[in-house]
Amino acid sequence: MNELANRNFGRTVALWLAAFLASAAACADYEPPLEVGLADLVAASNDILNRPDIPVRGEQGYIEDIIRFEAAGMQWDVGMSVHEPADPANIATGADGKKIGIFLLHGGSGDFKSMHRQARILSHKLGYKVVSMSYPGRHAFHTESRDWPGKNVNDDGSVRTPIWLRGEEIGRDEYEVIFDTGQRPRYGTRRLAKAKPGTNFYYRMAAWPLALEAGGIAAMTKHFPADEYSIYVHGHSTGGPLVNMLSQRVSNVAGVLAIENSPFGYIYRQQAAWGGQLGKIGEYDVPSETILLPSRSDPFDELYIRSWRDSARYVGPELLGSEGPQALMRLPMVMEDILAGWERSQKRPQFKAEYVITHGIEASLTEAAKVTASRLDMNAQETQDLIDHYVGLTRELSGPGVKPVPPVMFQISAFSRDHSREVYEEVTIPLYEAMDPAPKHSLTQFMAGKHGYMARDDENGLPFGIGPAVFKQWDDGIKSGWFTAD
Instruction: Concatenate the DSSP letters of all residues of 272-285 into one string.
Output: HT--S--EEETTEE
283 pLDDT band, cuts 50/70/90, is low
Burial of 238 (C-beta count, 10 Å sphere; 0-12/13-18/19+):
buried
* 135 or 325, greater pLDDT: 135
Residue 285 in this model has a pLDDT that exceeds 80: no
Q: Do 318 and 325 contact (CB within 8 A), yes or no? A: no
SS3 of the chain: helix, strand, coil, percent, to 5: 40, 20, 40
| pLDDT beyond 50 at 275 | no
Q: pLDDT tens digits for 185-211?
A: 888 999 999 999 999 999 999 999 999
Res. 294 pLDDT band, cuts 50 70 90: low
Q: How far is CA 387 from each of CA 249, 360, 378, 398, rounded to the nearest angstrom?
A: 18, 13, 12, 17
The single-letter code of the amino acid at 389 is H
Residue 400 has pLDDT above 90, yes or no: yes
Residue 22 has pLDDT above 60, yes or no: no
- Least Cα distance to 136 among 165, 104, 158 occurs for 165
Cβ contacts of 307 within 8 Å, gap of 6 or more? 153, 188, 191, 342
Q: What is the pLDDT of residue 125?
A: 98
Comparing 4 with 305, which gets the higher pLDDT? 305
Instruction: Give the full edge-to-edge strand order of the sheet including 63-71.
Output: 35-36, 441-446, 408-412, 253-259, 229-235, 99-105, 129-133, 74-83, 63-71
CA-to-CA distance for 422 and 411, rounded, in angstroms? 13
Mean pLDDT, the chain, rounded, equals 91
Contact of 346 with 450, CB cutoff 8 Å: no
Beta strands of 42-134 (E only): which ranges?
63-71, 74-83, 99-105, 129-133
State residue 10's pLDDT score: 42
**pLDDT band for position 15 (50/70/90)?**
very low
Whole-number pLDDT of residue 436: 95
- Per-residue pLDDT, averaged over 442-453, amounts to 95
Q: For position 462, what pLDDT does the model report?
A: 98
pLDDT tops 90 at residue 281:
no
- What is residue 486's predicted lDDT score, i.e. its pLDDT? 73
The pLDDT, as a whole number, for residue 419 is 86
For 326-380, the pLDDT digits (tens) are 998 999 999 999 999 999 999 999 999 999 999 999 999 999 999 999 999 999 9
Degrees, nearest 5: CA angle 446-107-279: 45
pLDDT for the residue 237 = 93
Averaged pLDDT for residues 86-98: 97
Q: What is the pLDDT of residue 320?
A: 85
CATH topology of domain 64-408: Rossmann fold (3.40.50)
pLDDT over 90 (residue 130): yes
Residue 32 φ then ψ, to 5°: -55, 140
Does the pLDDT at position 98 exceed 60?
yes
pLDDT reported for residue 317: 83
Helices 362-375 and 200-223, packing angle to 10 deg: 100
Question: Which residue has better confidence, 60 or 272?
Answer: 60
Mean pLDDT is lowest, of 94-103, 105-114, 397-406, 418-427, for 418-427
Nearest Cα to Cα of residue 241 among 353, 358, 407:
358
The distance from CA 212 to its chain's CA centroid, rounded to whole angstroms, is 13
- Cα dihedral 141, 146, 152, 154, rounded to 10, equals -80
Tell me how far apart the alpha carbons of residues 18 and 442 are, in angstroms, rounded to a whole number: 30
**Averaged pLDDT, 444-449:** 96
Alpha-carbon distance 373 to 354, whole Å?
20
Say what the pLDDT of residue 23 is: 41
What is the structure's pLDDT at 11? 39
